[in-house]
Amino acid sequence: DAGVTQSPTHLIKTRGQHVTLRCSPISGHKSVSWYQQVLGQGPQFIFQYYEKEERGRGNFPDRFSARQFPNYSSELNVNALLLGDSALYLCASSTDSNQPQHFGDGTRLSIL
Amino acid sequence: DQQVKQNSPSLSVQEGRISILNCDYTNSMFDYFLWYKKYPAEGPTFLISISSIKDKNEDGRFTVFLNKSAKHLSLHIVPSQPGDSAVYFCAASSLIQGAQKLVFGQGTRLTINP
């Protein structure tokens, strides 16, 4: 069975640009969450979606937004990119909010 | 404000022996705890979880212990194998308005020596 898939795997952008990251959850999983991981730290929660509705939001600025589609895939959008947005962005899916989350391999975003 | 802490950045264990990874948390609202393993260039892989209504959960070589009064959990790996060498993250969550927001520790790099 396919796991969580994320695209692209790597991305280089410059300050001020915007970026869209994509995630396809494990088949049958209706909940998708996004995390940011900077070097040397654990992942930090950005958003959780379930059945296309936002269920939770972490402590990130409004430049970060997300959505979930009817097929349960999801996009994370980041506007007005800053150097500090350079990180590994991880997507995780689960069958429901109270089940273990399973992660994709992430998108490595570098801001120049 | 670090709500979940892994105070050991690294741990080295001989193959075949027990590996014990520790994690402390501060938020008494956390009711679900998980351990993940991460290899370089891969996403975290779910290992084992425990609900706050239990104090122990086993899955093969992996056992998680939860001490709620001390706000402490640990992961035991017995016996340790070379393939266990990775970074281990503990995570804690509570269901808030239906959302499971995982809060991660900083990770512990486990090295298994042959």
pLDDT digits (tens, 9 = 90+) for B22-70: 999 999 999 999 999 999 989 999 999 999 999 999 999 999 999 999 9
- List the one residue out of A59, A35, A55 whose CA is nearest residue A107: A35
| Confidence (pLDDT) at A1 | 63
CA distances from A4 to A33, A111, B58, B96 (A): 11, 25, 25, 24
Q: Kindly report the average pLDDT of chain A as a whole number.
A: 94
Q: pLDDT per residue over A16-54, tens digit each? A: 999 999 999 999 999 999 999 998 899 999 999 998 999
Indicate the range of A7-11, A84-88, B96-100 predicted with least confidence: B96-100
Mean pLDDT of A95-108: 90
Mean pLDDT value across residues B10-27: 97
B90 beta partners: B35
Q: How far apart are CA A21 and CA A30, in angstroms?
A: 18
Contacts of B49 in chain A (CB under 8 A): 100
Name the residue type at position A94. S
For A11, the token pair is 């991305």
Q: Name every chain A residue with its beta carbon within 8 A of the beta carbon of B102.
A: 33, 35, 43, 45, 92, 101
pLDDT band at B97 (very low <50, low <70, confident <90, very high): low
Which residue of B36, B45, B96 is in closest CB contact with A56?
Answer: B96
Residues of chain B contacting A35 with CB distance shorter than 8 Å: 102
Q: Give the Cα-Cα-Cα angle A62, A67, A68 (nearest 5 degrees).
A: 160
Please give the pLDDT value at position B2. Answer: 79
The arithmetic mean of pLDDT across residues B73-79, rounded, is 98
* pLDDT at residue A22, as a whole number: 98
Check residues B48 and A98 and name the one with the higher pLDDT: B48
DSSP symbol at A25: P
Length of chain A, in residues: 112
Locate B71 and state its tokens.
């706000």
Phi and psi at residue B84, to the nearest 5°: -80, -10
Q: Are B34 and A100 within 8 A, CB to CB? A: yes
| pLDDT attached to residue A98 | 74
Inter-chain CB proximity A97 and B32 less than 8 Å: no
Interchain contact B20–A (C-beta under 8 A): no
Structure tokens at A75: 């996009």
CA distances for A3 relative to B43, B98, B107, angstroms: 11, 24, 23
What is the pLDDT at residue A82?
A: 97
Q: What integer pLDDT is reported at residue A77 of this predicted model? A: 98
d(CA B81, CA B77): 9
